[in-house]
Copies of this chain bind each other. A is one copy, B any other.
Amino acid sequence: MRATVMYGAHDVRVEDVPDAQLIEPTDALVRVTRACICGSDLWPYNAMAPSAIGNRMGHEFIGVVESIGADVGNVKKGDLVVAPFAWSDGTCEFCRQGLQTSCLHGGWWGGTTLDGGQGEAVRVPQADGTLVALPVGPDHALMPSLLTLSDVMGTGHHAALRANVRPGKIAAVVGDGAVGLCGVIAARRLGAEQIIMLGRHADRIALAQRFGATDVVSERGDAAIERVRELTGGLGAHSVLECVGHGESMRTAVSIARAGGAVGRVGVPQETTIPNAQPTFYANITIAGGPAPVRAYMHELLPDVMEGRNEPGLVFDRTTSIDGVPDGYRANEREAIKVMIQF
């Protein structure tokens, strides 16, 4: 089968790899119909050390169950399923509390030992805990939005939850990538009255406004902080969604939260420390977040997608075939918001 393998920075190839197949009785074999490239794929794309064997890539996908192991009972052959960006058993202490990204028997797609979503098929470990069947066929018009449930929509929702977004309050979103844009949807969905998008790309800003952003701050650094203060009566936002992960974006995020507020961080941190330990302390600002347990959110987010109230699929502004994935990485790094892969 064909699959995406990253061999180092800016070295992504689509190659013939061994066919995915069932190994454990808890596995399902899924034929991928849609996948995508993630902002977090760009971290290794820019920095991965050269590797002779390479890493299989992709952690967001929808596909059709082709076969299941003997112990799988929640999905069956022929089901269209969406996979969260982490697989999980659904039964451990952490899964039961809705933190599937810390599953004691789970893990991450791709790498050197597992299939990735940016390939024709995937062996899905712990299929019962991992996969969620969708109530539509693989060519349904909502496929782009449904695909976002595998990561970016659930991740934006996680940022909003951890930032404690509340009805009538002020949310600020740092980062106008696909996750930040979904963060706007999530903040609006949870009732935020004022939603401030910090970003500077015209196309993304327009989408943020369509999703519900009420204010846009295109300044950076101290000027951005100043502008948010102006927009919030001098006090800052109750909730800040950090959707980038850079040191500078985190500094901005903790600086625009008001006293007693919260920062929900979902951008993978690129620095080893969290800035502003003292100002955040004196202002009792909560810093929370991490990899989103999107598996826990799928059933909650699905109805708004199915009924068209939320359209997170609009973050996909480019579609490619599997062979176009290397070009897709280049595009995702530059002009595209998010690239969908159609099989």
A44 interfacial by beta-carbon distance below 8 Å: no
Q: Which residues of B are found within 8 Å of A235, using beta-carbon distances?
A: 93
Q: Does A271 contact B277, Cβ atoms closer than 8 Å?
A: yes
A280 interfacial by beta-carbon distance below 8 Å: yes
Considering only CB atoms, which chain B residue lies closest to A275 in the complex?
A: B273
Interface string of A165-191 (1 = CB under 8 A from B): 000000000000000000000000000
CB < 8 Å neighbour of A274 from B94, B99, B277, B289: B277
Q: Which residues of B are found within 8 Å of A99, using beta-carbon distances?
A: 259-260, 284
CB < 8 Å neighbour of A286 from B278, B288, B291: B288
Q: Does B268 contact A272, Cβ atoms closer than 8 Å?
A: no
Q: Does B272 contact A277, Cβ atoms closer than 8 Å?
A: yes
Known: A273-B273, A274-B273, A286-B288. A281 touches B265 (CB 8 A): yes
CB < 8 Å neighbour of A281 from B97, B260, B269: B269
Q: Does A268 contact B281, Cβ atoms closer than 8 Å?
A: yes
Cα–Cα distance between A282 and B265 once the two chains are bound (Å): 11
Known: A102-B260, A260-B94, A260-B97. A285 touches B274 (CB 8 A): no
- Give the Cβ gap from A174 to chain B, nearest Cβ, in Å: 15
The binding surface of chain A is classed by DSSP as mixed
Known: A268-B281, A281-B269. A287 touches B274 (CB 8 A): yes
Cα–Cα distance between A293 and B291 once the two chains are bound (Å): 31
Considering only CB atoms, which chain B residue lies closest to A162 in the complex?
A: B286
Q: Does B291 contact A282, Cβ atoms closer than 8 Å?
A: yes
Cα–Cα distance between A280 and B293 once the two chains are bound (Å): 15
Considering only CB atoms, which chain B residue lies closest to A247 in the complex?
A: B277
Cα–Cα distance between A262 and B293 once the two chains are bound (Å): 17
CB < 8 Å neighbour of A291 from B101, B268, B284: B284
Chain A, 186-240, CB within 8 A of any chain B CB? 235
A23 interfacial by beta-carbon distance below 8 Å: no
A283 interfacial by beta-carbon distance below 8 Å: yes
Q: Does B289 contact A259, Cβ atoms closer than 8 Å?
A: no
A290 interfacial by beta-carbon distance below 8 Å: yes
CB < 8 Å neighbour of A272 from B250, B265, B278, B282: B278
Cα–Cα distance between A242 and B243 once the two chains are bound (Å): 27
- Give the Cβ gap from A319 to chain B, nearest Cβ, in Å: 31
Interface string of A247-260 (1 = CB under 8 A from B): 00010000000011
Cα–Cα distance between A300 and B106 once the two chains are bound (Å): 42
Q: Which residues of B are found within 8 Å of A283, using beta-carbon distances?
A: 102, 290
Considering only CB atoms, which chain B residue lies closest to A288 in the complex?
A: B286
CB < 8 Å neighbour of A278 from B102, B269, B276, B285: B269
- What are 26 A-to-B residue pairs whose CB atoms are below 8 Å? A94-B259, A94-B260, A97-B260, A99-B259, A99-B260, A99-B284, A102-B284, A162-B286, A262-B288, A265-B281, A268-B281, A269-B277, A272-B278, A273-B273, A273-B274, A273-B275, A274-B274, A280-B290, A281-B289, A281-B291, A282-B290, A282-B291, A283-B290, A284-B288, A284-B289, A284-B293
Q: Besides the contacts A102-B284, A288-B288, what 11 more A-B pairs have beta carbons closer than 8 Å? A: A94-B259, A99-B284, A102-B283, A269-B277, A269-B281, A272-B277, A272-B278, A274-B274, A281-B291, A282-B291, A285-B290
